Amino acid sequence: MTNPVVRATSYCLFHAADMVLTHGTTLMLERAKHPDSDFLAAVKEALRPFEDVVAYPPNQVYIGNLTPEELAELPQPWYENPVEPKRLGRLGEIFSLDELIAMMKISDSFDLVALEESFAQKMVEKLSSHPLFTEADLAVLGKTASLQAITELLEKNTAVPLEFQGQVVGCVKQAHEFDANLKADIMFENLAAKASGALVLRHLLWNNDLDPSMVDYIIETSEEACGDMNQRGGGNFAKAIGEICGCVNATGSDTRSFCAGPVHGIVNAAGLVKSGIYKNVVVLGGGAVAKLGMNSRDHIKKDVPVLEDVLGAFAVLISADDGVNPIIRTDSIGRHRIGTGSSPQAVVTSLVTDPLGAVGLSITDIDKYSVEMQNPEITVPAGAGDVPLANYKMIGALGVKQGALQRTELDSFVQKHGLKGWAPTQGHIPSGVPYLGFAREALLSGSIKRAMIVGKGSLFLARMTNLFDGVSFILEANPGKQNAGQAAPEKVVTVGITLSGSEHGLEEVLRGAELAQKRHRGIKVVAIGPKCSTTLAMVEANTEEEQHAAMEELLKTGEIDACVTMHYNFPLGVTTIGRVVAPASGKEVLIASTTGMSAGNRTKAMEKNAILGIAVAKALGIDQPQVGILSVDGALTTERSLRELEKEGYTINWAVSSRADGQAIMRGNDVLAGSCDVLVTDSLTGNILVKMLSALTTGGGIETVGYGYGPGVGEGYQRIINIISRASGAPVIAGAIEFAADMAKAKLPQLVDEELAKAKLLEQEAAEAVQKPPAKPVDQEITGVDVLEIESAAEALWKENIYAEAGMGCTGPVILVAPEDLDIAKQKLIELGFIS
């Protein structure tokens, strides 16, 4: 199952000054009771112009131009200390009232909004360059009504006015003559919620460069209800909003729980994404005109401007785990249960400490809490206090009661884990969600590790229950991101490649090296070869021998972590584990082995090859590789000795042949089908298999598929040198570089020794029967010694005081000696009958 992540957020505000007077409930009630009241006139006088709304610091926080932390530092009252008025923010935008009115017209599917001609014309001009408005939108605005027609509708009381700067610029008509749920005021309220919801969704998609068709589902969480007299809350705002935004692949539904609606919506979205039902779910909410000027009576009384003059809207995209964006933890959802009770401590326990306890966290493990983020400048004069502050104190007080904090730490807890409120009092808008955008950024940057989002709702207002409601969730940094963050400071893996020796020329090798560099940012490729034109780092060395010497030196000094080369002789005991792609299935198979010799004895070598193959598989991240033995001479003996290892406690996962007998012995068919992860064979057969499978589609001349002949592995062998052949083409060379880098990252030599130790195959008797002469560099090959006698041949030379190493060249076993010893060694081997 995937994890749900918060992939994008958007926050918009809509200046709605005239709507405070026409559709804020406080003012509507006043007008109904006292049409000529001083209060109405006072509110009209105290409304702010658009410029002041934009320059108001809490509004700048809402759209992301200021952080909550910066807001806390600004002098109060904020309405007397404006900041730079920027209508565009990192997280959102502030729209003017005329733009909102235009959007109500654009959002209207039933010809209910009439706009006066000259106003509409001005809006077409104004919006033609705005990125969130389309040609089709402007065409809708082109359908206008005369002021006279609008006036007549208003006089008949079948419409309510749309006013801008005190002038009637249009109206919203009733949708039914008698249906109370379709009357003009209700249509006005619902169209404002739809229009603001649609603009915030358009902003979310545009600001994050998302295609509207990627949205699978929309959950609308405002506090309005759309329906008719037979189904007052029938719905569905979500789908209606998606339609205006071109979300052709989405459906949706409305979720309600008063102010807690948005957090319920996000929890639902997280569940839908986690279950795999949908990949991309948008949770959004448009604004509530009813709440405009809700506390204006108190504001006027205390000489505060009418600060409740904006509609708020938000949209959040919850998507399947991308390894980057913060994760919503679905194992610790807090909920106020029906049986919880309504005392403040019961509520905070159920929403904060219960879900934290469920995953073993304490209240101090959450870096920031987002509660009801109401702007205190609005609520304090209205007698509701500083709402976020009260919430933080409650969380801290509960922490004190539960022993997680000292009483004296209460203030510092609030300071450290709390935020200053900035959201307009639009009910659902301040409820937990305003911080999601900042939380996402802070979790991405690593400045915080966890945030908790809490939404609460006053259900009793609907007179259906006296219960209260609330839900919460934890937002956590994505461990994918954390891992990436930890990997980044690590040293980039440096892989060398020797350029000379290819049958396809140096250019082909260089092309492979450059391909690897281009594909993998985590690898630095160093070219070792004659001077040539390349963007890669270069170490100059002309001949193959010089290149091998340079490679060995660079590996020794640690300047490279691994190297890819060809025609390189490993000491006896070291063999290479190749990696091919099975042509019938595309499955990757390790061939153990492909060059070199892990032991002089054929079946002993095959037994060791199995263990070395398992070690390389583990280095590639295959924890339990399936092992098969190729049906070659010695296969059954090898199987028997491996089964003996099993009896002694070494675990082998046996592969099963695709053939009818289904044994661990692999046939040619199994090679094509890729029936195992590790295919055990002798190195000469393995070498043939890699050549054939890598050049399968090219007629044999050039190897184009797979990862080459693999790293040399053997007991105590500390270098990572991956082998390619003279026929390897650029794709195989790039694959070999990647393979070598993976082996370096996994610390292959260590894994090899661990695996050999587990299988009890480490050579215990290091003491040698024959005293070895002092070691010296050996680069001269003597070929022709039978593979079964190669070790004896080397020992025979030691007895003659000639230093020699047994090795495996590409064409077969070789004895390696120093140049000065070449002639005498050859002569001795002839004398002793090892070669003719």
Partner 1 sequence: MDMENQTRVLELVEKVGKENVVVVLGGAEAEASGLAAETVTTGDPTFAGPLTGVQLELPVYHIFELKDIIPEDIWEDQVSMMEMVLDVDEIIKEVATYRERNGG
Which residue is associated with the tokens 């569940």? 271
Helix, strand, or coil here: 760?
A: coil
Applying CB under 8 A, the span of 63-71, 377-385, 428-436, 623-631 interacting with partner 1 comes to 377-385
390 binds partner 1 (CB under 8 A): yes
Nearer to partner 1, 297 or 449 (CB): 297
Token reading at 532: 């040539």
**The 3-state secondary structure of 51-92, one letter per residue:** HHHHHCHHHHHHCCCCCHHHHHHCCCCHHHCCCCCCCECCCE
Residue 105 and residue 140 in contact, taking contact as beta carbons nearer than 8 Å: yes
User: DSSP assignment, residue 173?
Assistant: E
Nearer to partner 1, 398 or 590 (CB): 398
Nearer to partner 1, 397 or 459 (CB): 397
Task: Compute the distance between CA of residue 163 and CA of residue 181 in angstroms, rounded to an integer.
Answer: 22
DSSP string, 13-29: EEE-HHHHHHH-HHHHH
The number of residues that bind partner 1 (CB under 8 A) is 17
Nearer to partner 1, 276 or 344 (CB): 344
Interface pick for partner 1 out of 275, 343, 543, 783 (rule CB under 8 A)? 343
Applying CB under 8 A, the span of 127-135, 197-205, 343-351, 551-559 interacting with partner 1 comes to 343-351
Torsion sign across C-alpha atoms 48, 50, 54, 59: positive
Applying CB under 8 A, the span of 224-232, 391-399, 438-446, 694-702 interacting with partner 1 comes to 391-399
Interface pick for partner 1 out of 122, 176, 401, 587 (rule CB under 8 A)? 401
Bridge partner residues of 12 (DSSP):
93, 313
792 CB burial (10 A radius; 0-12, 13-18, 19+) = middle
Interface pick for partner 1 out of 49, 233, 276, 344 (rule CB under 8 A)? 344
Nearer to partner 1, 104 or 395 (CB): 395
**810 included as an active-site residue:** yes
- Binding to partner 1 by CB under 8 A, coded x per residue (else -) over 303-342, reads ----------------------------------------
Residues 6+ apart with CB under 8 A from 4: 269, 270, 271, 273, 274, 318, 319, 320, 321, 327, 328, 330
Residue 204 and residue 211 in contact, taking contact as beta carbons nearer than 8 Å: no
547 CB burial (10 A radius; 0-12, 13-18, 19+) = buried
Nearer to partner 1, 334 or 625 (CB): 334
Nearer to partner 1, 396 or 807 (CB): 396
The secondary structure element, H or E, covering residue 475 is strand 469-476
Task: Compute the distance between CA of residue 284 and CA of residue 307 in angstroms, rounded to an integer.
Answer: 23
Token reading at 352: 């904060």
Interface pick for partner 1 out of 122, 393, 587, 758 (rule CB under 8 A)? 393
CB of 456 to partner 1, least distance (A): 14
Nearer to partner 1, 382 or 599 (CB): 382
Residue 780 and residue 805 in contact, taking contact as beta carbons nearer than 8 Å: no
348 binds partner 1 (CB under 8 A): yes
Task: Compute the distance between CA of residue 284 and CA of residue 217 in angstroms, rounded to an integer.
Answer: 11
- Binding to partner 1 by CB under 8 A, coded x per residue (else -) over 665-704, reads ----------------------------------------
Report residue 658: phi and psi, to 5°.
-75, -10
238 binds partner 1 (CB under 8 A): no
Distances (CA, A) of 183 to 23, 158, 783: 13, 8, 100
Token reading at 10: 């958007």
CB of 192 to partner 1, least distance (A): 26
Applying CB under 8 A, the span of 344-352, 510-518, 586-594, 825-833 interacting with partner 1 comes to 344-352
CB of 341 to partner 1, least distance (A): 8
659 binds partner 1 (CB under 8 A): no
Interface pick for partner 1 out of 28, 175, 384, 835 (rule CB under 8 A)? 384
Interface pick for partner 1 out of 132, 141, 397, 614 (rule CB under 8 A)? 397
CB of 41 to partner 1, least distance (A): 18
Residue 10 and residue 314 in contact, taking contact as beta carbons nearer than 8 Å: yes
147 binds partner 1 (CB under 8 A): no
Residues 6+ apart with CB under 8 A from 416: none
Task: Compute the distance between CA of residue 366 and CA of residue 449 in angstroms, rounded to an integer.
Answer: 8
43 binds partner 1 (CB under 8 A): no
Nearer to partner 1, 342 or 542 (CB): 342
Applying CB under 8 A, the span of 215-223, 327-335, 395-403, 418-426 interacting with partner 1 comes to 395-403
Task: Compute the distance between CA of residue 34 and CA of residue 40 in angstroms, rounded to an integer.
Answer: 9
DSSP string, 630-687: ESSTTHHHHHHHHHHHHHTT---EE---SSTT--SEE-HHHHHHT--SEEE--HHHHH
410 binds partner 1 (CB under 8 A): yes
31 binds partner 1 (CB under 8 A): no
CB of 348 to partner 1, least distance (A): 7
398 binds partner 1 (CB under 8 A): yes
407 binds partner 1 (CB under 8 A): yes
CB of 301 to partner 1, least distance (A): 10
25 binds partner 1 (CB under 8 A): no
Applying CB under 8 A, the span of 230-238, 378-386, 623-631, 737-745 interacting with partner 1 comes to 378-386
383 binds partner 1 (CB under 8 A): yes
CB of 470 to partner 1, least distance (A): 15
Interface pick for partner 1 out of 67, 249, 345, 641 (rule CB under 8 A)? 345
Interface pick for partner 1 out of 131, 142, 385, 446 (rule CB under 8 A)? 385
- Tell me whether strands 570-571 and 562-566 are parallel, antiparallel or unpaired: unpaired
777 binds partner 1 (CB under 8 A): no
Applying CB under 8 A, the span of 96-104, 345-353, 557-565, 734-742 interacting with partner 1 comes to 345-353
Applying CB under 8 A, the span of 317-325, 400-408, 558-566, 606-614 interacting with partner 1 comes to 400-408
CB of 396 to partner 1, least distance (A): 8
Helix, strand, or coil here: 291?
A: helix
Token reading at 831: 């004398």
CB of 346 to partner 1, least distance (A): 8
CB of 397 to partner 1, least distance (A): 4
Task: Compute the distance between CA of residue 291 and CA of residue 775 in angstroms, rounded to an integer.
Answer: 89
Report residue 402: phi and psi, to 5°.
-90, 0
* Residue from 395, 413, 414 nearest 454 by CA: 395
> For residue 565, which amino acid is it?
T
CB of 459 to partner 1, least distance (A): 15
CB of 344 to partner 1, least distance (A): 5
Residues 6+ apart with CB under 8 A from 301: 381
The catalytic position among 171, 259, 676, 810 is 810
CB of 205 to partner 1, least distance (A): 41
Interface pick for partner 1 out of 168, 214, 320, 400 (rule CB under 8 A)? 400
Instruction: Return the beta strands (E) in 536-639 as ranges.
Output: 537-540, 562-566, 570-571, 575-581, 588-596, 626-630
Nearer to partner 1, 39 or 654 (CB): 39
CA dihedral 533, 538, 540, 544 (to 10 degrees): -90
Residues annotated as part of the active site: 810
Residues that bind partner 1 (CB under 8 A): 343-346, 348, 383-385, 390, 393-394, 397-398, 400-401, 407, 410
